[in-house]
Amino acid sequence: MLLAARAFAVWLLLITAEVVHGIVRTLVLTPVVGDFRARQLGVFTGSLLILLISALTIRWIRASRPRTLLMIGSAWVVLTMAFEIGLGRMMGYSWERLGSDYNMLEGGLLPIGFVIMATSPFIAARLRGMWNYG
């Protein structure tokens, strides 16, 4: 139970960082390259941010088994998708606008970001030498 609470607390940190990241992206990058291109670029800068936060917090979460790490990352993806869709709808974005980030055939790169998010606890544990096969 403590593991789940810690993983959720880190997700709250991640989503807060991503909201700030999105605001900065909108204010700084969108006027220069346009909205869709800024969102595409934001997938990569956001992924780096997620990896950094994961690496800084993975010891505190106290998970080291590969399956547990991947379950945490997958939970983060589900929570993030629910948050993003819910917030987007509250802000009046159409389903088409929200879906555009997910459609890789049309240039949406968010699935790449979600793969990185799902694997970030696993990657962070490897980088921090916290590997446990037991």
Q: pTM for the whole thing?
A: 0.91
Any residues with CB less than 8 A from the CB of 37 and at least 6 apart, and which? Answer: none
Which among 110, 3, 133 has a CA at the least distance from the CA of 57? 3
| Residue 81: HSE in the Cβ half-sphere, 13 Å Cα cutoff | 15
How many angstroms separate the CA atoms of 110 and 77, rounded? 11
Beta-carbon count within 10 A of 12 CB:
10
Say if residue 109's pLDDT is above 60. yes
How many angstroms separate the CA atoms of 108 and 101, rounded? 4
How many angstroms separate the CA atoms of 110 and 50, rounded? 13
User: How high does pLDDT run on average in the chain?
Assistant: 94
Any residues with CB less than 8 A from the CB of 114 and at least 6 apart, and which? Answer: 77, 80, 81
pLDDT digits (tens, 9 = 90+) for 23-70: 999 999 999 999 999 999 999 999 999 999 999 999 999 998 999 999
Say if residue 106's pLDDT is above 90. no
Residue 133 has a pLDDT of 53
Q: How far is CA 108 from CA 8, 35, 37, 50, 94, in A?
A: 27, 12, 9, 19, 15
User: Please, which pLDDT band fits residue 131 given cuts at 50, 70 and 90?
Assistant: low
Place of tokens 């998970």: 63
